């Protein structure tokens, strides 16, 4: 059993999600009596493999469980994939996967491009690190979920405005449900991103006070981009709330959710490709090393 | 012949005759009991809906099904109709054509509205009634179960029964449901007393709508209409306020000018706080001024919009027809009665052996050959008697799938 679990790779569950996505994409093209079961089987198999993979990494990595950028993206993908499987079971005729699975696969792709080395963390700041990472994860998932709902709102609205009956195999949730999802996701994303950002500031302040090497400069690009992201998400949530009472408020909120997703994606790409000290293992200089050791040893 | 059928549908039997020919459930049960007494050993299922009355009969060996003319007379007698009047109106089929016809009927391919789903339930009810009156057997059992399986496949693998065809159903299910997740907390405003309002409200109530307000130019009429539609009356003078409070409007007045002008709607819109509004303008001429359709948050559908969607759905159903017919044909080929194939297998084998025997014994005269042939046939009938009796007994309590499968495997009966 151990050999089986340790043999699971990213390709296993990514391929399962890809097959599920192909099945979803084929829904409007032709009808099939076995596609629903095939789709669910591959999505569920991918999710189980994904879970086992993360569980194996959490159990076997010597550092804090799931504390690398690689793990972080895979966790975000795992939450969205779990949501997709749940939606498939709850409402199999609604075609959410066509919109959600590309995001899941995109996050898996981002994971593959990211470092598997754990974020440097001293025992003293592990809790703050976990809080920071968890809030950022929740915010990212909420932004992605909100954008998926927003995109579906726009497609559904275009169909209703064009006075067309639902296309074969493309049955979307109602505008009412999608608008509510967009609004809740925007608020949740703003709160959790803000909490993630401020917990990151606290984490960095603690690191700085203790003179730890993983301290990130206050003007590091990651601080700036996360600050900008949080500011945008708070503004977007506020705008969304203000627009609720306008006749075209739902449409604008849907567009805002897509913009939030673009901002998040740009922020992630910047994090993956751009220069930063965030999450980079410290390279101790002789003087810094001795200072750190003294600080760590201090009562 | 092992299967026989007589029946008439909306295509062949005028409404006046169909009304007299139709069987209630009690009358159908009585007719089947009468069939059992008159034609002992034969199987029968009677399907009676508002669009068709069909009698399926089956039998084998000495108890072959009654000839079609007897079945026509039987139906006429049961309903007190002159058989001579009925005979030219009813269709007749035998053996495999009966199976194919039943598959088409159960799949909705023979219905007045192509693909309508109610027929499956009606076929099931007819089969259940025949089971209760003990007129079923292995032949009708296998045939009806296969027909229901075919109908299930047609429903799941084609869109023939999925697209809605009536304007109220399209308005509610394809459009209003696209905007609202639930109707339980929505205000429905009915303007006018057009015929389609009643039908549309039926769909809305089925979808959960309970808060219904009816306004009409005449207050008395609004009261009566509200009572009839299960809503409460509103004042026509308060139409702007009612529009402000409404989430969905069904408008069916007979007015010659728009009842809701752009100005009136602008007053109503100011207090709506951005809530979406679905308008089903089912009136001709239209009740809502055309420019209102362009207002943000307004989803306005006229009778022409809904009619076009219905037409598109109808075309989609038609496009699914070849696929549905393909499934019916496939099932038909694969489920031709097992017993017929079993009997044919024995007969063919016996005939081949007889030919070989007669070639080896050229001195046999015709009488001797006939005697030997009859002996072979009696032997085959006796050998088949026990398994067929078991099948018949077993099928009274449901389709004998296990036995049929066993027979197929034991006697290598190919589908």
- Tell me how far apart the alpha carbons of residues B388 and B410 are, in angstroms, rounded to a whole number: 14
Specify the higher pLDDT residue, A11 or A63: A11
> Do residue B23 and residue B130 come from a single domain?
yes
Domain membership of residue B319 (yes or no) is: no
> Do residue A188 and residue A59 come from a single domain?
no
CA atoms within a 13 Å half-sphere pointing along the CA-CB vector of B407:
24
Q: Which of B158, B164, B179 sits opposite A160 (nearest CB)?
A: B179
- Tell me how far apart the alpha carbons of residues B282 and B252 are, in angstroms, rounded to a whole number: 5
> Do residue B185 and residue B225 come from a single domain?
yes
The count of structural domains within chain A is 2
Q: Which CATH number goes with the domain that contains B90?
A: 3.30.460.30
Kindly report the average pLDDT of chain A as a whole number.
82
Domain membership of residue B327 (yes or no) is: no
pTM: 0.68
| Domain enclosing residue A141, as ranges | 120-277
> Do residue A233 and residue A111 come from a single domain?
no
> Do residue A3 and residue A96 come from a single domain?
yes
Q: Which of A166, A172, A175 sits opposite B174 (nearest CB)?
A: A166
> Do residue B150 and residue B185 come from a single domain?
no
Domain membership of residue B249 (yes or no) is: yes
Kindly report the average pLDDT of chain B as a whole number.
84
Instruction: Tell which of A91, A153, A176, A248 to mutate to test the B interface (max B CBs under 10 Å).
Output: A176
| Domain enclosing residue B364, as ranges | 338-410
> Do residue A260 and residue A144 come from a single domain?
yes
- Taking the Cβ of residue A166 and every Cβ of chain B, the question of whether any pair is shorter than 8 Å is answered with yes
Q: Which of B159, B180, B305 sits opposite A168 (nearest CB)?
A: B159
Least confident stretch, A175-184, A288-297, B332-341: A288-297
Among the listed residues B15, B50, B128, B344, the single catalytic one is: B50
- Taking the Cβ of residue B169 and every Cβ of chain A, the question of whether any pair is shorter than 8 Å is answered with no
Domain membership of residue B314 (yes or no) is: no
Domain boundary among the residues A87, A118, A149 is at: A118
Q: Which segments of B91-209 does DSSP mark as H helices, in order?
A: 96-106, 118-132, 138-157, 167-169, 177-179, 195-206
- Taking the Cβ of residue B270 and every Cβ of chain A, the question of whether any pair is shorter than 8 Å is answered with no
Domain membership of residue B399 (yes or no) is: yes
Tokens 């009810």 sit at which residue?
Answer: B125
> Do residue B148 and residue B176 come from a single domain?
no
- Which conformational region is residue B219 in: left (phi greater than 0), alpha (psi within -120 to 50 degrees), or beta? alpha
> Do residue A108 and residue A132 come from a single domain?
no
Is B164 in contact with A165 (Cβ distance < 8 A)? yes
> Do residue A216 and residue A164 come from a single domain?
yes
Give percent of chain A above pLDDT 70: 85
Domain membership of residue A295 (yes or no) is: no
Digit-coded pLDDT (tens) for A91-146: 887 888 899 999 999 999 988 887 777 776 666 667 787 888 889 899 999 999 99
> Do residue A64 and residue A135 come from a single domain?
no
Domain boundary among the residues A70, A102, A118 is at: A118
> Do residue A131 and residue A218 come from a single domain?
yes
Domain boundary among the residues B104, B124, B157 is at: B157
What pLDDT, on the 0 to 100 scale, is given for residue B218?
Answer: 84
- CA-to-CA separations, A167 to A30, B163, B256, in angstroms, rounded: 12, 10, 35
Domain membership of residue B322 (yes or no) is: no
Size of chain A, expressed as the number of residues it contains: 299
> Do residue A151 and residue A249 come from a single domain?
yes
- Tell me how far apart the alpha carbons of residues B231 and A264 are, in angstroms, rounded to a whole number: 49
The count of structural domains within chain B is 3
User: Residue B93: helix, strand or coil by DSSP?
Assistant: strand
Instruction: Give the sign of the dihedral formed by CA B37, CA B39, CA B41, CA B43.
Output: negative
Predicted-complex ipTM score: 0.78
- Taking the Cβ of residue A173 and every Cβ of chain B, the question of whether any pair is shorter than 8 Å is answered with yes
Domain boundary among the residues B157, B188, B213 is at: B157
Domain boundary among the residues A66, A100, A118 is at: A118
Q: pLDDT-derived band of residue A260, with 50, 70 and 90 as boundaries?
A: very high
Is A165 in contact with B313 (Cβ distance < 8 A)? yes
Domain membership of residue B229 (yes or no) is: yes
> Do residue B248 and residue B192 come from a single domain?
yes
> Do residue B374 and residue B271 come from a single domain?
no
Give percent of chain B above pLDDT 70: 90
Q: Which CATH number goes with the domain that contains B176?
A: 3.40.50.720
Domain membership of residue A61 (yes or no) is: yes
By the 10 Å C-beta count (0-12 exposed, 13-18 middle, 19+ buried), B361 is classed as exposed
Is A163 in contact with B274 (Cβ distance < 8 A)? no
Check: CB of residue B33 under 8 Å from CB of residue B94: no
> Do residue A130 and residue A272 come from a single domain?
yes
Check: CB of residue A189 under 8 Å from CB of residue A146: yes
Residue B50 annotated among the catalytic residues of the structure:
yes
> Do residue B17 and residue B137 come from a single domain?
yes
Task: Write out the H or E segment, with its range, that includes residue A72.
Answer: helix A69-90
Digit-coded pLDDT (tens) for A170-224: 788 999 999 999 999 999 999 999 999 998 888 888 877 877 666 777 777 778 8
What pLDDT, on the 0 to 100 scale, is given for residue B216?
Answer: 87
Q: Which residues of B touch A164 (CB under 8 A)?
A: 309, 312
Check: CB of residue A153 under 8 Å from CB of residue B301: no
Q: Which residues of A touch B179 (CB under 8 A)?
A: 160, 174-176
Q: Which residue of chain A is at minimal alpha-carbon distance from B277?
A: A247
Q: For residue B301, what are the β-bridge partners? A: B280
Check: CB of residue B222 under 8 Å from CB of residue B233: yes
Is the pLDDT score of A287 beyond 60? no
> Do residue A129 and residue A85 come from a single domain?
no
Domain membership of residue A233 (yes or no) is: yes
User: Token digits for A90?
Assistant: 């709850």
Is B157 in contact with A33 (Cβ distance < 8 A)? yes
Domain membership of residue B375 (yes or no) is: yes
Q: pLDDT-derived band of residue A277, with 50, 70 and 90 as boundaries?
A: low
Domain membership of residue A270 (yes or no) is: yes
- Taking the Cβ of residue A238 and every Cβ of chain B, the question of whether any pair is shorter than 8 Å is answered with no
Instruction: Tell which of B150, B152, B176, B274 to mutate to test the A interface (max A CBs under 10 Å).
Output: B274
What pLDDT, on the 0 to 100 scale, is given for residue A299?
Answer: 32
Is the pLDDT score of B415 beyond 60? no
Q: Which of A165, A247, A251 sits opposite B312 (nearest CB)?
A: A165
> Do residue B61 and residue B174 come from a single domain?
no
What pLDDT, on the 0 to 100 scale, is given for residue B55?
Answer: 95
> Do residue B207 and residue B233 come from a single domain?
yes
Cis peptide before A222 (omega within 30 of 0): no
- Taking the Cβ of residue A248 and every Cβ of chain B, the question of whether any pair is shorter than 8 Å is answered with yes
Domain boundary among the residues B124, B157, B190 is at: B157
- CA-to-CA separations, A37 to A42, A75, A89, B159, in angstroms, rounded: 9, 26, 11, 18
Specify the higher pLDDT residue, B76 or B107: B76
- CA-to-CA separations, A203 to A39, A125, A170, A210, in angstroms, rounded: 43, 7, 46, 11
Check: CB of residue B238 under 8 Å from CB of residue B263: no
Is B180 in contact with A174 (Cβ distance < 8 A)? yes
> Do residue A133 and residue A109 come from a single domain?
no
Domain membership of residue A293 (yes or no) is: no
Q: Which of A31, A245, A249 sits opposite B159 (nearest CB)?
A: A31
> Do residue B8 and residue B151 come from a single domain?
yes
Q: Which residues of A touch B296 (CB under 8 A)?
A: 246-248, 251
What pLDDT, on the 0 to 100 scale, is given for residue A288?
Answer: 43
Instruction: Report the pLDDT averaged over residues B377-396.
Output: 71
Q: Which residues of A touch B157 (CB under 8 A)?
A: 31-33
């Amino acid at each position: 059993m151990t050999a089986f679990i340790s043999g699971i790779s990213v390709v296993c569950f990514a391929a399962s999600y890809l097959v599920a996505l192909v099945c979803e994409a084929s829904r409007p093209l032709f009808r099939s009596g076995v596609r629903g079961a095939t789709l669910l089987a591959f999505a569920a198999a991918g999710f189980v493999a994904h879970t086992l993979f993360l569980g194996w990494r959490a159990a076997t990595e010597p550092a804090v469980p799931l504390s690398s950028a690689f793990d972080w993206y895979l966790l975000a993908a795992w939450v969205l994939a779990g949501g997709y499987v749940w939606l498939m079971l709850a409402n199999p005729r609604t075609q959410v996967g066509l919109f959600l699975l590309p995001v899941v696969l995109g996050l898996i792709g981002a994971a593959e491009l990211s470092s598997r080395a754990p974020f440097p963390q001293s025992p003293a700041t592990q809790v703050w690190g976990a809080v920071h990472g968890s809030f950022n994860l929740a915010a990212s998932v909420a932004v992605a979920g909100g954008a998926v709902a927003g995109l579906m709102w726009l497609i559904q609205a275009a169909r209703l405005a064009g006075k067309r009956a639902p296309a074969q195999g493309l049955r979307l949730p109602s505008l009412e449900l999608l608008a509510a999802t967009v609004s809740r996701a925007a608020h949740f994303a703003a709160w959790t991103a803000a909490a993630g950002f401020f917990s990151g500031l606290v984490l960095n302040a603690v690191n700085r006070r203790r003179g730890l090497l993983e301290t990130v400069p206050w003007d590091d690009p990651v601080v700036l981009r996360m600050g900008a992201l949080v500011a945008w998400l708070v503004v977007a949530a506020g705008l969304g709330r203000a627009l609720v009472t306008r006749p075209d408020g739902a449409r604008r909120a849907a567009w805002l959710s897509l913009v939030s997703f673009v901002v998040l994606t740009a922020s992630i790409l910047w994090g993956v490709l751009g220069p930063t000290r965030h999450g980079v293992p410290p390279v101790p200089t002789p003087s810094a090393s001795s200072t750190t050791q003294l600080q760590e040893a201090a009562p | 012949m092992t299967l026989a059928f007589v029946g008439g549908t909306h295509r062949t039997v005028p409404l006046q005759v169909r009304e007299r020919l139709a069987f209630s459930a009690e009358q159908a049960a009585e007719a089947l009991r009468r069939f059992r007494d008159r034609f002992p050993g034969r199987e029968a299922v009677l399907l009676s809906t508002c669009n068709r009355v069909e009698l399926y009969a089956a039998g084998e060996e000495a108890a072959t099904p009654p000839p079609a003319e007897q079945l026509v007379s039987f139906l006429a007698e049961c309903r007190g109709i002159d058989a001579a009047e009925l005979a030219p109106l009813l269709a007749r089929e035998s053996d495999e054509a009966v199976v194919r016809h039943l598959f088409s009927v159960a799949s909705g391919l023979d219905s007045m509205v192509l693909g309508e789903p109610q027929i499956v339930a009606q076929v099931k009810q007819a089969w259940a009634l025949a089971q209760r009156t003990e007129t079923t057997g292995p032949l009708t059992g296998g045939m009806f179960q296969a027909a229901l399986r075919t109908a299930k496949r047609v429903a799941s693998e084609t869109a023939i029964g999925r697209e809605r065809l009536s304007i109220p159903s399209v308005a509610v299910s394809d459009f209003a449901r696209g905007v609202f997740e639930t109707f339980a907390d929505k205000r429905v405003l009915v303007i006018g007393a057009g015929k389609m309002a009643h039908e549309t409200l039926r769909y809305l109530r089925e979808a959960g709508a309970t808060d219904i307000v009816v306004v009409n130019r005449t207050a008395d009429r609004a009261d009566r209409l509200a009572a009839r539609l299960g809503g409460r009356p509103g004042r026509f003078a308060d139409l702007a306020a009612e529009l402000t409070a409404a989430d969905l409007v069904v408008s069916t007045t007979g007015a010659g000018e728009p009842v809701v002008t752009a100005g009136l709607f602008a007053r109503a819109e100011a207090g709506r706080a951005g809530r979406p509004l679905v308008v089903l303008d089912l009136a001709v001429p239209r009740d809502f001024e055309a420019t209102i359709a362009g207002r943000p948050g307004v989803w306005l559908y006229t009778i022409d919009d809904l009619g076009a969607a219905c037409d598109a759905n109808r075309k989609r159903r038609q496009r699914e027809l070849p696929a549905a017919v393909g499934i019916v044909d496939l099932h038909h080929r694969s489920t031709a009665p097992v017993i017929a194939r079993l009997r044919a297998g024995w007969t063919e084998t016996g005939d081949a052996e007889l030919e070989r025997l007669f070639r080896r014994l050229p001195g046999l005269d015709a009488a001797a050959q006939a005697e030997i042939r009859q002996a072979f046939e009696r032997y085959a009938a006796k050998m088949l008697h026990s398994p067929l009796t078991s099948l018949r007994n077993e099928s009274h309590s449901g389709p004998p799938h296990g036995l049929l499968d066993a027979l197929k495997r034991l006697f290598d009966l190919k589908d």
